[in-house]
Amino acid sequence: MEHHRSNFDIAIIGAGSGNMIANRKFSGKSVAIIESGKFGGTCLNVGCVPTKMFTYTADIAAAIQDAARFGIEAEMRGADWPAIVKRVFTRIDSNSEAAEQFRRDNSNVTVFSERARFTGPKALELDSGHRITADQIVIATGARPVVPEVFAGDHIYTSDTIMRAERFPQRLVIVGGGFIAAEFAHIFSALGSSVTMIARGERLLRHHDSAISQLFTEVAQKSWDVRLNTTVHAVCPPENDSNAVDVVLDSGDTVAADAVLVALGRRPNSDNLGLDDAGISTHLDGRIVVDDYQQTSVRGVWALGDVCASLQLKHLANYEARVVSHNVLNPDSPMSAEHRFIPSGVFTRPQIATVGLTTEQASEAGIDVVESVFHYKDTAFGWATEDAPGFCKVLADRATGRLVGAHLIGTHATTAIQPLIQGMVFGTPPREIARKQLWIHPAIAEVVENALLGLRL
């Protein structure tokens, strides 16, 4: 639609998960969608979807390099980086463009391809100077990578840019020890990069359960050059190579690299929205404060996804979008958001999946837990994978007998964990999950079955 309207029933800032809000139930309402970048947000354009397309490619490459263990003669002759990038982003870009065109074709939707800033509780000013008001406003502006000042100049990338790099880095330094670092270390090492990981903590994935973190760190140290308890002091160009950088560590060591990937977390895109002028509260870390219904401190203004969530996950943002969609249409009978059991996965090698409390979190919360660990190598499927490292760990509250946490590391962990997520959400006792259904033999899920049976409640 043309930009002639100034008053809307609802204005949505951000067309990632925010674009999901205006379903068919909104056909009788005037909707403004304000997006300065690409439709689809982080997930579609620079996050979950392209990274998983890359990790699948990396999985194939890694399998070829590991083939000899299974009596297969195969060799990895190289990776066609431009072809890989083209395969991924030809599909990604066309999906993003189609999503935007679909909205532009909606007679009740006006798309503004610019940024917005609050000038009052229900008033916005766009980059063009155009001012709009809305009865209800949804903030879904996502997050962006944190890049400290030390990382300046050429050859510096974030997860937003590394997948479209023109040159494949034969030597890649990854700064960070979290899930983004873990996934890209797998991707680039499998495709032929020499990877160095710089992590300030004593373990990688240190926010995961300690058993998961410990095993992954051990596996990573065999695969990549991992520098723990280390930070970057400076990044500077070498004297005679314009296509490289020297990464100087606090230890005094220098690592030469063709590219540096800064993976030090992401910060909410809340700082340029004029939230103070609207009276919208934020946490100290920049996240917008929301109540149980995803409503901000201003009635009729909502927020969802990475701009307000404690966990930056697409499936969580999509869920919150459904909650907001309902609440915008039904202000007198709002739906509360359920954040008890939020699963997450790390698509590295080996894969990792987690839901609920870690052992450390349970201890801090004063919950007396019973734990059980079962290893992949003790299942028939584990034999098929030549005893590749991996296990399933489950935690149950001794007082209630209910599951409070589950953590998997190993092949297809992100799929194998699903029965545990379902069991936790519906409050099914662990032994019922294990015994009231048949588990296909010999499949990966038997590691879950046996972990559950090992709980001594």
Q: Are 186 and 348 in contact (CB under 8 A)?
A: yes
| 375 among known catalytic residues | no
* 3-state percent helix, strand, coil for the chain, nearest multiple of 5: 35, 25, 45
Query: Could you count the other beta carbons within 10 Å of the beta carbon of residue 94?
Result: 10
Residue from 155, 186, 315, 441 carrying the catalytic annotation: 441
CA distance 316 to 318: 5
Transcribe 361-406 into DSSP letters. HHHHTT--EEEEEEEGGGSHHHHHTTS-S-EEEEEEETTT--EEEE
Alpha helix segments (H runs only) across 47-178: 48-65, 81-104
Q: What's the CA gap between 277 and 286, in Å, rounded? A: 16
Q: Identify which of 436, 430, 435 has the alpha carbon closest to the alpha carbon of residue 402.
A: 430
Of the candidates 360, 401, 380, the one whose C-alpha atom is nearest the C-alpha of residue 449 is: 380
> What is the C-alpha radius of gyration for the chain, rounded to an integer number of angstroms?
24
How far, in Å, CA of 326 to CA of 336, rounded? 10
- Interatomic CA distance for residues 183 and 454, integer angstroms: 31
Pairwise CA distance, residues 336 & 309, whole Å:
14
Given a contact cutoff of 8 angstroms between Cβ atoms, the answer to whether 83 and 191 are in contact is no
Supply the residues annotated as catalytic: 441
